[in-house]
């Protein structure tokens, strides 16, 4: 299988909510995270591949009262969770997501190094 990710995923565990019109709100937990996507473990029925969803992260470190909202597409759906590719960020969400990814990789001081992207 050819790897299609443009950003390295880092192990990262946090609670997240998936908002999917057909199933409502689904609670889950991230297994890994990058600037390009995440794998979300769920105990409920997961959205199907190609479903458009929204993920809600609580940025506990930088802004404890702020919810980070990220739109995405399900690229893999398994019984235990979903792989999500991020497609759109609300204002400020990308910076908050960078902070989460950097926190997941304590060795890196530059969020763009973590993502494997250039400025």
Residue with more model confidence, 61 or 22: 22
Least confident of 14-23, 39-48, 59-68: 59-68
What is the Cα–Cα distance from 83 to 81, expressed in whole angstroms?
Answer: 7
Average pLDDT score over residue span 39-60? 87
Domains of the chain, each with CATH number or no CATH: 10-105 (2.40.10.220)
- If 0-12 CB within 10 Å is exposed, 13-18 middle and 19+ buried, where does residue 119 land? exposed
Average pLDDT score over residue span 35-44? 90
pLDDT of residue 110 exceeding 50:
no
pLDDT of residue 30: 92
């Amino acid at each position: 299988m050819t790897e299609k990710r443009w950003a390295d995923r880092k192990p990262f565990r946090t609670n997240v909510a998936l908002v999917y019109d057909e199933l409502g709100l689904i609670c889950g937990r991230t297994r890994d995270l990058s600037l390009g996507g995440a794998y979300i473990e769920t105990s409920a029925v997961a959205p199907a591949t190609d479903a458009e969803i929204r993920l809600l992260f609580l940025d506990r470190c930088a802004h404890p009262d702020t919810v980070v909202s990220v739109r995405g597409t399900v690229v893999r759906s398994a019984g235990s969770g979903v792989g999500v590719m991020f497609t759109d960020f609300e204002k400020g969400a990308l910076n908050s997501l960078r902070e989460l990814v950097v926190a997941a990789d304590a060795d890196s001081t530059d969020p763009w190094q973590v993502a494997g992207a250039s400025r």
